[in-house]
């Protein structure tokens, strides 16, 4: 008696000894792909448990606060800060902090009353820049607010990183500080990166205490997360010894939760939590005064500082807790959503490929789908934190579309070339050369940017994994002169890119590896002869 399993077998054929093997390979590869996809996103999003530093019974000292909504920036015209936003923000911050630090007086007239309402102290700052009219206005508002709210304003800060930006001289700044000191009763200080206090010693005698910024990620020689706190402790000790008996306030310290790696300094939510919790424990043990940067993520800072600038907050821009101060913390809080999106890409790849007819196709198709699901999802998550402008969203859309079209081309290559699949394959095959050229052009542009202007750019490695591997394994006929130029640009730029980033930068090595694969794929395509 012959038993058939046409309903189960993907070919609708009798299951013979020869047809069972591709099906078994297909099933094995599907299971492997599912486990790889799930493991990838769970591994990125797995919660990490760290010692808490904030609780209902223990408040921290101070946090930087800028009351912008998610879609606002200080460059908006008109400038509109909502009192109801500030009220809600201070209600939230008062649960974990004793005070907040501000950087400008413009638009913050309601802040002292709101701080009083929520039991918070204020360190208020005047924004000092190269425009003397604007600076005078800020300083006058600073003096007036300090004198009108002595019960709330605990200190005043005349300028923030003004010497770093080279907008005033040390002598000009000292005169402003002395003017404020003569008219307020609160302690007066100036805030800047710690090196600039050493470069401008004339400022120290003018202030009541020194406010230094210690940001290991932004140092000229960035510290990794394991060495960052030791670096902070060493600098703090140097300042404590050099400028005694004046007190030292660490006016900004923190770690970014998103963005590109700088040498060994890697942004992530877990690393932000590790740094903040470790710093607070050390500061409270040593009796230091400190202010954490910053209360909320500020997406507008991505314009001037790259993606990393927008993600130093203890809460995100929607005022959701990032898990930095207490509780479990995860690097990818939306991992389940990306897993679901990846699952759709994986299933779509299997459906597009259709019934497999060879062992090779049975093994490759599911694994290709899993790889694409991981890389395209990771590209989407990267785009979520890096993209600022319409032009950048168009760029993201282009690279995402290229990935999906290349994936479709590869899946159809493995499928039976009959019916609509055959027609679709032929259509894509005729345009494959320009797909390669477009992908190579995009990779070359990104490589040149990372060689010549890398500081604020993220590594787009995940956007090129699928095209590089697909056309490396199956080269196609391409426009020869154009592809030869792109191959040279990408290949010749790999070493300079690594040199600029440092050999300990894993993200730079990841981009270098993808660039090698892309250059090799383009080279193989150059060797395909037109038939």
pLDDT tens digit sequence for 270-315: 999 999 999 999 999 999 999 999 999 999 999 889 999 999 999 9
User: Which two tokens mark 399?
Assistant: 């690279």
pLDDT surpassing 60 at residue 16:
no
Question: What secondary structure letter does DSSP report for 529?
Answer: P
The b/e string for 379-407 (b: 16+ C-beta within 10 A; e otherwise) is bbbbbebbbeeeeeeebbeebeebbbbbb
Alpha helix stretches (DSSP H) within 245-334 = 269-286, 302-305
pLDDT surpassing 80 at residue 83:
yes
Mean pLDDT calculated for residue range 249-255: 98
Mean per-residue pLDDT of the chain: 92
Domains in the chain with CATH codes: 19-44+334-526 (no CATH), 60-310 (3.20.20.80)
Of 317-326, 501-510, 521-530, the least confident: 521-530
At residue 243, the pLDDT reads: 94
Among residues 352, 444, 457, 476, the alpha carbon closest in space to that of 407 is found at 352
Q: DSSP letters along 170-223, please?
A: HHHHHHHHHHHHTT-SS-EEEEEEHHHHHH-TTSGGGSSEEEEE--GGGSSSPP
pLDDT surpassing 50 at residue 6:
no
Mean pLDDT calculated for residue range 383-390: 90
pLDDT surpassing 50 at residue 29:
yes
User: Which two tokens mark 272?
Assistant: 């932000």
Give per-residue pLDDT as tens, 309-358: 999 999 999 999 999 999 999 999 999 999 999 999 999 999 999 988 88
Mean pLDDT calculated for residue range 79-88: 91
pTM over 0.75: yes
For the chain, the distance separating the N- and C-terminal CA atoms, rounded to the nearest angstrom, is: 50
Question: Within 10 A of 217 (CB to CB), how many other CB atoms are there?
Answer: 24
Q: DSSP letters along 345-368, please?
A: HHHHHHHHH-S--SHHHHHHHHHH
At residue 56, the pLDDT reads: 83
Give per-residue pLDDT as tens, 47-73: 999 999 998 889 999 999 999 998 888
pLDDT surpassing 60 at residue 10:
no
Let me know the angle formed at the C-alpha of 346 by 30 and 330, rounded to the nearest 5 degrees. 100
Q: Which residues contact 132 (CB under 8 A, 6 or more apart)?
A: none
pLDDT surpassing 80 at residue 12:
no
Question: What secondary structure letter does DSSP report for 96?
Answer: T
At residue 21, the pLDDT reads: 56
Of 69-78, 119-128, 352-361, the least confident: 69-78
At residue 304, the pLDDT reads: 87
Of 7-16, 117-126, 341-350, the least confident: 7-16
């Amino acid at each position: 008696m012959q038993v058939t399993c046409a309903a189960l077998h993907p070919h609708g054929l009798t299951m013979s000894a020869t047809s069972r093997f591709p099906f078994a390979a297909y099933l094995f590869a599907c299971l492997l792909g599912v486990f790889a996809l799930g493991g990838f996103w769970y591994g990125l999003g797995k919660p990490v448990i760290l010692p808490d530093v904030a609780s209902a019974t223990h408040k921290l000292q101070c946090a930087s606060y800028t009351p912008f909504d998610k879609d606002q920036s200080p460059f908006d015209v008109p400038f509109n800060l909502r009192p109801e936003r500030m009220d809600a923000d201070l209600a939230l911050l008062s649960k974990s902090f004793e005070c907040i630090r501000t950087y400008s007086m413009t638009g913050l007239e309601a802040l002292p009353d709101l701080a009083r309402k929520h039991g918070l102290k204020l360190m208020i700052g005047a924004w000092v820049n190269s425009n003397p009219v604007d600076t005078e206005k800020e300083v006058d508002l600073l003096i007036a607010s300090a004198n009108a709210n002595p019960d709330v304003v605990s200190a005043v800060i005349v300028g923030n990183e003004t010497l770093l930006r080279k907008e005033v001289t040390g002598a000009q700044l000292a005169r402003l500080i002395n003017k404020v000191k003569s008219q307020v009763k609160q302690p007066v200080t100036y805030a800047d990166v710690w090196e600039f206090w050493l470069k401008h010693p004339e400022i120290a005698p003018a202030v009541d205490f020194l406010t230094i910024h210690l940001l290991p990620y932004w140092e000229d020689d960035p510290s990794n997360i394991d060495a960052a706190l030791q670096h902070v402790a060493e600098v703090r000790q140097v300042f404590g010894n050099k400028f005694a008996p004046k007190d030292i306030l660490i006016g900004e310290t923190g770690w970014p939760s998103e963005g590109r790696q700088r040498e060994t300094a890697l942004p992530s939510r877990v690393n932000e939590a590790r740094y903040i919790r470790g710093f607070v424990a050390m500061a409270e043990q040593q009796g230091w005064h400190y202010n954490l940067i910053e209360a909320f993520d500020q997406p507008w800072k991505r314009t001037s500082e790259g993606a990393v600038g927008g993600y130093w907050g203890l809460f995100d821009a929607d005022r959701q807790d990032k898990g930095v101060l207490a509780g479990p913390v995860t690097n990818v809080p939306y991992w389940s959503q990306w897993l679901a999106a990846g699952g759709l890409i994986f299933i779509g790849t299997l459906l597009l490929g259709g019934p497999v007819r060879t062992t090779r196709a049975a093994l490759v198709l599911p694994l290709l789908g899993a790889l694409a699901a991981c890389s395209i999802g990771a590209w989407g998550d990267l785009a979520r934190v890096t993209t600022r402008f319409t032009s950048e969203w168009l760029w993201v859309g282009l690279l995402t579309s290229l990935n999906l079209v290349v994936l479709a081309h590869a899946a159809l290559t493995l499928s039976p070339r009959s019916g609509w699949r055959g027609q679709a394959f032929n259509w894509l095959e005729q345009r494959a050369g320009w797909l390669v050229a477009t992908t190579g052009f995009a990779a070359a542009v990104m490589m040149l940017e990372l060689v010549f202007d890398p500081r604020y750019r993220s590594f787009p490695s995940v956007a090129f994994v699928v095209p590089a591997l697909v056309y490396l394994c199956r080269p196609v006929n391409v426009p020869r002169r154009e592809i030869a130029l792109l191959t040279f640009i990408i290949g010749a730029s790999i070493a300079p890119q690594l040199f600029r980033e440092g050999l300990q930068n894993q993200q730079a090595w990841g981009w270098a590896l993808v660039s090698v694969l892309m250059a090799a794929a383009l080279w193989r395509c150059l060797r395909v002869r037109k038939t």
